[in-house]
Amino acid sequence: MTVDPATLDVTVVDGYVDEPAHFGVPPYVSTYPRYTAGALVDAGVPEERITYHTIDALRDERDRWRDVAGADLVVYVGGMTVPGKYVGGAPAEPEEVRRLAWRADGTTLLGGPVRFGVGDENKGAIETERDDLDYDFVAKGDVEAAAHDLVREGLEGFSDRLRDNAEVSRWARAGAFVVEDHPNHPDYLIAELETSRGCAYRCSFCTEPLYGDPAFRTADSVVAEVEALADHGVRDFRLGRQADILAFGGDGEAPNPDALRDLYGGIRETVPDLRTFHLDNMNPVTIVDYPEKSREGIRVIAEHNTPGDTAAFGLESADPVVQAENNLLVSAEECLEAVRVVNEVGGWRPSGPGDQRGGDRDSAPTFGESAARRLPKLLPGINLVHGLAGERPETFEHNRAFLDRLLEEGLMVRRINIRQVMAFEGTEMAETGAELAHDHKQLFTEYKRAVREEVDNPMLRRVAPPGTVLPDVHLEYHQDGKTFGRQLGTYPLLVAVPGERELGRTLDVAVTDHGYRSVTGVPYPLDVNAASMDELAAVPGVGRQTAGNIVVDRPYDSLAEVEGVARLSRFATAGTQGTGD
């Protein structure tokens, strides 16, 4: 490429990413397309000559493919290094990625976590292999750096280098504009934010250490990126791109509460009308090794975030044999102590009606059925990985015993993620492969089902008891006469509402019942003069007979006139129904 950058037409295609410390499947938008666009601008390509499409947009509107065929440079970013199931978007399949290269008349560049390898499916218990997928260039380093160098210096400038934090500071701000072309923008889009990349530890299966030791951005750099995204309409943010949020601004291990205060306080001050402010990864070993500084850091987070936030803990296995053979850092007992700390410091529920974006703290933390109406501010999540070296039948017993102790002690965790390992080249699992995961497949299936029924369900009842209000649930699809939706945020609950409502809208919902990883709810507040039979019957203790009586005797001037008023009082009004729009 020797063309003047100012005359280049570039198309960036987002095939979506999912990594141990990075979400990019809608409603999330990852850093990759934003940083790549910013790098192109930094290299001299005008914003108006950069086109951004998601893979779903290309599927939905075939006319968009002309931007692939006619571009001087096509940059594809994508790749999944953890297994998952997705509702908001469908990650690109290998054949779709190849088709992009085949359809492009210009130069093609492939990058993102796809560089670690490609599997036939995005699921656990598989081996992956590296594949150039017929692209002219494959970035084995950072795709944004490769795009920058390729445009600025031509073919001879291409290399597999990693970008530095000074470049990130420029590119993150300069590339924020592409979010306006995301199909979910602006109402149902949460921007993934990077505070650091890489990991000081070397767990056998994880691709994050392949990025090197942690390299922390400054609070000012992240806040400036948030400001740029807000200028383009984004109001929902997740600090998900890091191995350990508590280590931000420190030496890679010890917490730095002052740096967290600068980060969280700066974001809140810059975007006072933000809607969602969540995080992802927190290392439980940090809490164990630095308990007082960790408590202070967790307190800072819980004071600034929005309810329903989750700090994912990478326990991975409660089996000491598996821990030893895979360089896992934290024991089951240590992880349990870290769960206690986050429950104590961050597990309070904000008071104040209808406030998803903050709220005042209750006079004391509440963990039982008499809980306040909101989800807790910050809870741990537990990650468990199966198929690791040393796994044996006893491993499943160790893990189950750990989860049972959470229930027995009255603790709360927001999410229990159980998956089978994916083996990627460059990790120790490349040598071990997924053989153990295959061998234990039936045992894994039975164990996972039992956890869902016997641990997840009672835990969810504890975290979101009946009457808990979930503001701004985005309605996504219909199934079995119900409408399903989610809030924006980290690991949001799947919510089912009786009846088929208009999709694409938002609704405030009060929880009425619980599945294994989802809840049923009714619109909040529920207008008894307009509510359907199904909605009234869904309220705990009402049932269809009472619901029928309520419908027959409508309208009501006040809730006090309604049969079963004690049961309805947490959910209903006799006034205008709230929609949350």
CA-to-CA dists, residue 189 to 185, 233, 276, 279, angstroms: 6, 10, 10, 15
What structural domains and CATH numbers belong to the chain?
1-187 (3.40.50), 469-573 (2.40.50.140)
CA-to-CA dists, residue 202 to 45, 199, 245, 309, 310, angstroms: 39, 7, 17, 26, 23
pLDDT of residue 197: 80
pLDDT of residue 352: 54
CA-to-CA dists, residue 50 to 8, 57, 73, 111, 225, angstroms: 8, 16, 10, 17, 19
Comparing CA positions, the residue from 327, 345, 333, 83 lying closest to residue 201 is 327
pLDDT of residue 186: 94
Q: Is 431 helix (H, G, I), strand (E, B) or coil?
A: helix
pLDDT of residue 437: 67
Return d(Cα 126, Cα 241) in angstroms, integer.
25
- Helices within 65-160 (DSSP H only): 66-69, 94-103, 143-153
Say which residues have a Cβ less than 8 Å from residue 388's Cβ, sequence separation at least 6. 204, 205, 316, 317, 322, 325, 326, 421, 429, 432, 436
Per-10-residue mean pLDDT, the chain, length 581: 86 92 92 98 98 97 96 94 76 92 96 67 45 86 95 84 94 98 96 85 57 83 98 97 90 89 98 97 95 98 97 94 90 97 96 49 36 84 91 95 97 93 57 67 92 96 95 96 96 96 95 93 93 93 92 90 82 61 40
pLDDT of residue 512: 95
Residue whose entry in the numeric block shows the structure tokens 């909101």:
374
